[in-house]
Structure 1
Amino acid sequence: MSNNLRNKFLEDISRLRNNPNSHDVKIIVGEDDNVETFTAHSIVLGTRSKYFQAAFYNEWTKKENNVIVFKKPNIKPQVFSILLEYYYTGKYSLEDANNQIYMIDFLDAADELCLVELLEPIKKYIIRNKVKLVQQNYVKIYNASIKYEGFGVIQEYCEELICKSPELMFESNDFHLIDETLLNIVIKKELAYKEIEIFNYVIKWGMKQRPQINSKISELTQEDYEELQYRLHELLKHIRLFTLTSDEFYNVIWPLRKLFSNDLIVKLVEYHLCTKDDTLIVDSLSRRTSKNLNSDIISLKQTNIILNWIYNNDDKIERNILNNYNLELIHRGSWDGMNLHTFCNMCYFKTSTLIVIKLEGSDIVVGGYNPKSWNSSDYDWIPVNNSFIFSFDNSKLDSDSYILSRIKYQNFAIKNFVNAIGFGDLQFLPNGIYNHKYYEKRIQCKNLFFIEDYEIFKISLKIST
């Protein structure tokens, strides 16, 4: 069958959707104030969907006046409308801005309705657009990260982001919907948030779980306390109670003391009444220290991988050494200006620098490490024996997807001319040029590329105090 005939056939089938005289299925979708009724054809739904085929065969539905009535309260009408269009036409759009806020709902509905062929395209779209989608709907995206296979990169991104911006989760209207496993992971982390605020949100989460506990704190019954203890048993273990001030303990923890063991409350009272300094008692959880990497381009995990390349000459094993080093952001193109003159002013005379570059219109990040200074009195090649360049592909489901390319011809490691800067193979400013020549491996990069943004960090060993 030619493409024209096939298209004509699909057009004829799609017109069935708008023919009310032949509809024999009524589907009531949504709940509360967001409900819509759709009509369709059982022959189309049963043929296109194993879910509806099973529903009709197993009589999950009822009939009214020879019309099959089917209820789907757990799918949003906006989402079902898109999927119904797909049933009739084979077409759907993930790019429509109006659809993006429903992306996880779309994924959940496709999963429930057994539309297996849609799952991977939707998952890949979410991974490619994770920055925008997570900012729009953190809780839903984070919950999906443990529900769907292949979303490890989403979970890592959400957990790193929450260390920088805890308000994305805690201050969300959907905070009470966060999965308990994920909330437990988050409150163990080094969050840039006051401990008493974390405690208050944990209490809020516990009271919002179903059935909700609607009492005021001062009016909680013994039954309420027992239910809260059951819900929050694992979470409260990770609240760093001994880091709270005496005022916070008295005003917030003491009214809720029934949530804790008598032994713990006695220790807390003794600590706040008797301790003369800020020394924490033995075996108590330490104060939170936020690990805030000031980068919009690479993640903490990627940074740790790069540090292993630099200091351990380790191309494969990922030792956790991030806490041992300082990464000082000395130049960001989108802030300071993306031109060679600005680069020279801000980065010359700086040694041990890491450069990361976000390619425009791509999920590829490239960069390199220069252990020496960028400046040169005669503007010539700078020989280096331990520099390298690399690329990360953030579109891959595997968040460790990278290519490391170490210097092969050290006399051509760093290019430091009047009108060119960068590594032998990888030059940048005002845009980018890549030519695989002096470094070992070809990285994932076009020969000519535009730069969306870049960041330059000076790396140094932390000095113990």
Structure 2
Amino acid sequence: MLSDLSSTLLKDIRQLFEDADDYNVTIQVGEEPNIEVLNAHSVILRARSSYFRSALSSKWAKKKGDTFTYKKPNISPKIFKEILRYIYTGTISLNDKAEQGELLKLLVAADELELEELVEHIQEHIITNESEWLKKNIVHVQQTASKHKACGRLHSYCEKNISEDASLIFQSDDFTLIEETSLIALLKRDDLSMNEIEVWDHVIKWGMAQNPNLSSDVKTWSKEDFNLMEQTLKGCMAHIRFFQISSTDYFYKVRPFKKLLPSDLKENLKEHFMVPGVEPKFAVLPPRKSKNSKKDKLPGSNIISSQHASLISSWIDRQDFSYNNDNFNIDEIPYEFNLLTRGFRDSLTRQEFHNKCNNQGPTLVILKVLGTGQIIGGYNPVNWSSSGKWVTTRDSFIFSLGEGNDLKSEAILSRVQNHEQAIRDCAISYECVGFGCGDLHIIEGTSTRKDYDRDIIDISTFVVDDYEVFQVKKKI
């Protein structure tokens, strides 16, 4: 019978990483002023990496006596030490490396050193555990993954998400890194779940980022500044749907940059906004729509669709809702939902919540539960103010949209029963801000029914994957 005693063998090999004194490889890693010389064993490197099997051959590496000497300036000492630890021990910690900007560097290094298992593990970690970071950095991640064949899974994941919701690109923190050709391709799409003025704002933001010496105050721009920006955005202008922008947004947001527009377009827009019913002389591109308008994301939201907002509006007005309406029209929603704060853009802390949401009037809180994808939330028809008091109202409610796919069977509406404890408007020093005495606490992530008439979630505590808070205003 063959006995397996490999655990001791693995332990002894791991020990070589910490205590060995018979190294025969020295690797100089990093660039000035951050250079370190690390030691290793050629037999371990060759056994674990096909890259090192070639690199430590007589054709590549230099040898002084019995010691191989090798340089790797494009990998930092910190990243290479993580790689060495993995090579010797088979272990690696990826916690916090995304926010520290090290996760992609580690992935690229692992790919270059042909460590297939590690490359696959990092991709799996990013897709499974770093969704918030990935959304913030989807441009950089997608561009990085596209340059490395072994990162095909991550690249495909980014492409799939962008294909399903192209507005992710615009909403990412690294949007301005996008290449011009990719930006123009996005602008040509009809299925951007964004208002056209938001598209315009992001195009201007991108143009400013390509010209960092331009002042942020357009009023101070010289003729040369406008010419520079005009050349930068030349390829984008034909794909902005100016005739889908409201007269108010045009006046305050587009008009300050009017020198960037062709003269004939500028005059036609002026006529369009000043003379009702005039026919545009330019070909008018249609409003942007998703492939399925009922599932089109609510402008400003990454969690709920316009249909979800329509259902919530019907709850606010205490009206019936047609779940099977195939002729759904976003313009028929009687409320405006203006984003105040978002989890992956800001942070889920009581200080951030109060800073962004206090004194904004009626608000809608949307929470997405980690692990289940369930969408829950609450409507405060009064105000948040950090008063440290209960807010009395008969019109607040909490709810669940399930996973958001089958509202007819999944949606749950829970109206307040104890009107005097409808809204818990805690002071900033307390985290219990929410609805009822525990029915839905936003920051804590808890839900235990007491002051509302129905349970909205099967568990009493949960982790928030993402959240959004909207100011709710009746359309005029």
Q: Could you say which TM-score interval applies, normalised by the shorter chain?
A: 0.5 to 0.7
2:439 is the alignment partner of 1:428: yes
Structure 2: how far apart are the matches of 1:305 and 1:2?
62
Structure 2 CA distance for partners of 1:153 and 1:105, relative to 1, 3 Å = farther
> Residue 24 of structure 2 aligns to which amino acid in structure 1?
D
Structure 1: how far apart are the matches of 2:138 and 2:367?
26
Give the C-alpha shift of residue 88 in structure 1. 0.5
> Residue 432 of structure 1 aligns to which amino acid in structure 2?
S
Q: Which residue of 2 aligns with 1:17?
A: 17
Q: Which residue of 1 aligns with 2:115?
A: 115
Structure 2: how far apart are the matches of 1:248 and 1:446?
52
Q: Select 2:157's aligned residue among 150, 163, 168.
A: 150
How does 1:211-230 map onto structure 2 within 5 Å? Answer: none
Structure 2: how far apart are the matches of 1:19 and 1:248?
65
Does the 8 A contact of 2:323 with 2:407 survive in 1? no
Structure 2 residues without counterparts, runs of 5 or longer = 147-153, 193-197, 214-222, 225-230, 244-249, 274-279, 290-295, 313-320, 342-347, 380-391, 423-437
Does the 8 A contact of 1:26 with 1:38 survive in 2? yes
Q: Which residue of 2 aligns with 1:303?
A: 305
Q: Deviations over 1:396-422 (max 9, x none)?
A: xxxxxx6646349x9x9645432899x
Q: Deviations over 1:341-369 (max 9, x none)?
A: x9xxx87xxxxx9863344x767443279
2:375 is the alignment partner of 1:366: yes
> Residue 116 of structure 2 aligns to which amino acid in structure 1?
V
Q: 80-89 or 113-122, which moves further after superposition?
A: 113-122
Q: What secondary structure sits across from 2:9 in the alignment?
A: helix
Q: Deviations over 1:371-413 (max 9, x none)?
A: xxx9879x9xx9xxxx994444xxxxxxxxx6646349x9x96
Q: Deviations over 1:23-44 (max 9, x none)?
A: 2333343446544433322211
RMSD: 6.1
> Residue 63 of structure 1 aligns to which amino acid in structure 2?
K
> Residue 460 of structure 2 aligns to which amino acid in structure 1?
L
Q: Select 1:447's aligned residue among 439, 459, 463.
A: 459
- TM-score, normalised with respect to structure 2: 0.54
Q: Deviations over 1:129-182 (max 9, x none)?
A: 3434665x665335347662323576479954554577x533xxxx4xx45554
> Residue 408 of structure 2 aligns to which amino acid in structure 1?
R
Does the 8 A contact of 1:324 with 1:461 survive in 2? no
Q: What secondary structure sits across from 1:432 in the alignment?
A: coil
Structure 2: how far apart are the matches of 1:195 and 1:413?
40
The percentage of aligned residue pairs carrying the same residue is: 25
Give the C-alpha shift of residue 90 in structure 1. 1.1
Structure 2: how far apart are the matches of 1:197 and 1:413?
40
Structure 2 CA distance for partners of 1:110 and 1:120, relative to 1, 3 Å = same
Does the 8 A contact of 2:268 with 2:281 survive in 1? no
Q: Which residue of 2 aligns with 1:257?
A: none
Does the 8 A contact of 1:355 with 1:369 survive in 2? yes
Structure 1: how far apart are the matches of 2:332 and 2:416?
30
Q: What secondary structure sits across from 1:91 in the alignment?
A: coil
> Residue 459 of structure 2 aligns to which amino acid in structure 1?
N
Structure 1 residues without counterparts, runs of 5 or longer = 206-216, 219-228, 254-267, 348-352, 393-401, 422-426
Structure 2: how far apart are the matches of 1:187 and 1:33?
43
> Residue 175 of structure 2 aligns to which amino acid in structure 1?
M
Q: What secondary structure sits across from 2:157 in the alignment?
A: coil
Give the C-alpha shift of residue 331 in structure 1. 10
How does 1:272-311 map onto structure 2 within 5 Å? Answer: 277=271, 281-283=281-283, 299=302, 302-304=304-306, 306=308
Q: Which residue of 2 aligns with 1:62?
A: 61
Q: Which residue of 1 aligns with 2:175?
A: 169
Structure 2 CA distance for partners of 1:108 and 1:337, relative to 1, 3 Å = closer
Does the 8 A contact of 2:30 with 2:75 survive in 1? yes
